[in-house]
Structure 1
Amino acid sequence: MRLTLVALILAAALPVAATSYQPPRATTDGWAVADAARLGWDTATLGSLDDKVADGSFKQITSVLVVDHGRLVYEHYFNDGSADLLNDVRSASKSLTAMLVGAAIQRGAIPDVKAPVYAFFPEIPVDHPDPRRAAITLEDLITMSSILECDDDNQYSAGNEERMYVSERWLDFALNIPIRGYAPWVARPRDSPYGRTFSYCTAGAFLAGAVVERATKMPLARFAHEVLEQPLGITQVTWNTSSEGVGMGGGGTRYRSRDLAKIGSLIADGGRWHGQQVLPKAWVAAMLSPHAQARDDADYGYLWWQFRFPVGGIETKVWAMSGNGGNYVFVLPERGLVAVITSKAYNKSFAHPQSQAIFRDYILKSLSR
């Protein structure tokens, strides 16, 4: 008995072995898998991420996946996450809406990004008509820089998303958002980088999705399945709708982690998946071009974020789908890198910093040189 007790004490005193890296398993979902070590990755650093999630250093993370030039090289699920879980990626859905805008333009349903938004909804009354509304374009919505007074970061904003969610008709709400003004400390478009004043607006992204619905004459979810999900072999997904049944292009879609990685890889490869051109290469390039300055440390494309991270000691621009809770799909096209991080840390202050830390300190630091 005493010997057993001593053995238990000694065992408890020994350091716990770090989790070793294991390559992903091949399935029939279209993913090629590879051993990151054979591709030159620092798998000790990459594998140590498992322990940091397990010991609570990173909280409420449900999955981390890494793709290297079209090959899945890391896949791990945590905290009740699983390969079959449909992750609610919240505002990362906005980037999907940008892809659908491009697909609708390619099919001729929408002439181009300069298409005037209000022309698609002539039957919806506007309480305060203003000739300036007629000049609002689809590009204004997908760059978060329209003249509508809409700011999700300001609880007093007339267009704040929480006000839209409790309205009976979201589309009427979005089209009736007042014209914005500019406080003395806010730069006007002509004085802003890229000539646009950025203001994060979920109602605008929702409105962009509604334009796609009107233009294509099909529900947003069905159009997404036809032009995006089916070509990628994505079979399980959930799209939300507004209270009146309009597809929710502003957030809340649910995808499996491997399917999110497919979407990221599609963008990393210029709109191609397994050699098939799913989205126009020119549209992907336009999405991943800065059109507005979102913050001092981030620019904005067409519903895609552009962050800056150190890669090999050099500040590098990385594109991302980003959503509440710390949900991300990071894309670094020139390195063929895609990283998916899903999380349920909704409305937590640590959510985005910790997901970015995972990407910066574990994925980028272990990246093959």
Structure 2
Amino acid sequence: MKNAFLGLCMAAVSFAAPAADRDAFERATLAVEKGDYKAITSILVAQDGRVVYEHYFDDDDDGGADARRDTRSVTKTVAGMLTGLAIADGRLPDASARVFDVLPRARRRHMLNPDPRKDAIAVGDLLTMSSIVECNDENEYSRGNEERMYLIEDWVQFYADLPVQGFPAWMPRPADSPHGRSFRYCTAGVTTLGEVVQSAVREPLPAYAQRRLFDPLGIDTPQWQYSPLGLAQAGGGLALRTRDLWKLGQLYLDGGRVDGRQLVPEDWVRRSLSPQATAREDADYGYLWWLMKIPSGDSTIVAPTMAGTGGNAVFLLPQKRAVVVITTTNYDERQPHLLTVRLLTRELLPAL
């Protein structure tokens, strides 16, 4: 499956695209303008590396093509890209590197709830939302819920201090879970991954991201969010233009290549887009990529997705050799991700 999937991705640069259905895209425009999908701010569809549809629905004074859009947890996927680059640069050995061996020593020395199992947490555990600490953003009672993290200054120490997760009889243990991992969505873990990468490359995370990822893609002036102590937040809040988001998706659709050169190692792309944990019934999880199972006609396709709160998404559609970017401000809507998937499947996929 892994080789076949990457083969589909690589095919994105080697086939001629059929003509996109302009009338169908016009119907999508009208549906969004009517409010059928609430507060959609932009849509971009690219096929075979070319934009075939692009529309901005927000006010020109605050939006449009030049607006940097906070797509929330889409940032997490960027953190996974930077991790792969740090490994390629020889700054991290691989995904098995132990997190607390890379972080400043004070993190372990001042740690609450010390435990050898915490010492063994690896980069791969953070990439797959499956570390042993009790951290679950989808559980308001979780000690590691991200809303609790934002109440203190030191977000990485917040993660380091968390206790080990308990596994009562009704919760499968990691060894009994698919891929041997117990998935629990944990922003604090990816926030910590940002400091791991920064410590490994010995360079501020935004500077490393600009030099190794954004500049080669022609992405300028990204807007990072920072912790109270000045750490760039790898777990969310990075604001990019809609076309910037397309470039990041296109990079992985093309197997890590841009302008004829390998920017991100092909093997890292392959592993990132392969199931590493089971998140829920309709999605597996790679290295900070959602592997969404999306209905398409009479079948289901797997669409690797960068996803953020409000239904913000960058979908890779290897079978269509396409990338779809949808940005929104549906933060207060019930099940906003379902709105985005419905827009994709009802309005945009048929146009391809």
Q: TM-score, normalised by structure 1?
A: 0.87
Picking from 156, 160, 178, the partner of 1:175 is 160
Q: 2:247 matched to 1:262? A: yes
Shift of 1:85: 0.6
Deviations 1:68-123 (A, max 9, x none): 01001100000223001100010011000000000000000001000001112311
Identity of aligned pairs, percent? Answer: 45
2:132 corresponds to which residue? 147
Q: Do the aligned partners of 1:306 and 1:317 also contact (CA within 8 Å) in 2?
A: yes
**Conserved in 2, the CA contact under 8 Å of 1:269 and 1:336?**
no
Q: How many Å apart are 1:366 and its aligned residue?
A: 1.8
Residues 86-125 of structure 1 aligned to structure 2 (within 5 Å): 86-121=68-103, 122-124=105-107, 125=110
Q: 2:46 aligns with which of 46, 54, 67?
A: 67
Give 2:287's aligned residue: 302
Q: 2:330 — aligned with what?
A: 345
Q: Does 1:238 align with 2:218?
A: no
1:44, distance to aligned residue in structure 2 (A):
2.1
User: Cα deviations across residues 212-249 of structure 1 (Å, max 9, x unaligned)?
Assistant: 00001111111110111000011121111211111211
Segments of 5+ residues of structure 1 without an aligned counterpart are 1-35
Whichever of the two has the greater Rg, that structure is 1
Once the two structures are superposed, the pairs formed by residues 23-62 of structure 1 within 5 Å of their partners are 39-62=18-41
Secondary structure of 1:145's match?
A: coil
Q: Distance in 2 between matches of 1:361 and 1:334?
A: 17
Alignment RMSD? 1.4
TM superposition shift of 1:264: 0.6
Q: Aligned residue for 1:284?
A: 269
- Structure 2, gaps ≥5 residues long: 1-15
1:343 and 1:184 mapped to 2: Cα distance?
Answer: 39
- Paired residues of 2:153 and 2:229 also in contact (CA < 8 A): yes
* 8 Å contact kept, 2:256–2:262: yes
Separation in structure 1 between the aligned mates of residue 261 and residue 296 of structure 2, nearest angstrom: 30
Whether 2:193 is the aligned partner of 1:208: answer: yes
Q: Using the alignment, how far apart are the partners of 1:326 and 1:306 within structure 2?
A: 15
Aligned to 2:144, the other structure's residue is in SS state coil
* Partner AA of 1:123 in structure 2: A
1:341 aligned partner, one-letter code: I
Q: CA deviation at 1:43?
A: 2.5
Alignment of 1:251 with 2:227, yes or no, is no
CA distance in 2, matches of 1:366, 1:183: 48
Q: What's the CA shift for 1:199?
A: 0.2
Secondary structure in 2 matching 1:342: strand
Amino acid at match of 1:261: W
**CA separation in 2, counterparts of 1:45 and 1:310?**
18
Post-superposition shift, 1:176?
0.7
Q: TM-score, normalised by structure 2?
A: 0.91
Per-residue CA deviations over 1:270-326 (Å, capped at 9, x if unaligned) read 011222211111101110000000001110000000111233532111100000011
Letter in 2 for 1:85: A
The answer to whether the 8 A contact 1:67-1:73 is kept is: yes
Corresponding residue for residue 30 of structure 1: none
Partner of 1:73, secondary structure, is strand
Query: Deviation of residue 172 (structure 1)?
Result: 1.0
1:332 CA drift (Å):
1.9
SS in 2 for 1:325: helix
The count of aligned residue pairs is: 331
Aligned to 2:11: none
In structure 2, distance between residues paired with 1:168 and 1:151 = 20
Mean Cα displacement is larger for which, 309-318 or 293-302? 309-318
* 2:351 counterpart letter in structure 1: S
Paired residues of 1:309 and 1:316 also in contact (CA < 8 A): yes
Quote the residue 1:15 is aligned against: none
Q: 8 Å contact 2:20–2:52 — kept in the other structure?
A: no
The SS at the match of 2:24 is helix
Which aligned segments of 4 or more residues in structure 1 are displaced greater than 3 angstroms?
none
Instruction: Return the offset for 1:336.
Output: 1.7
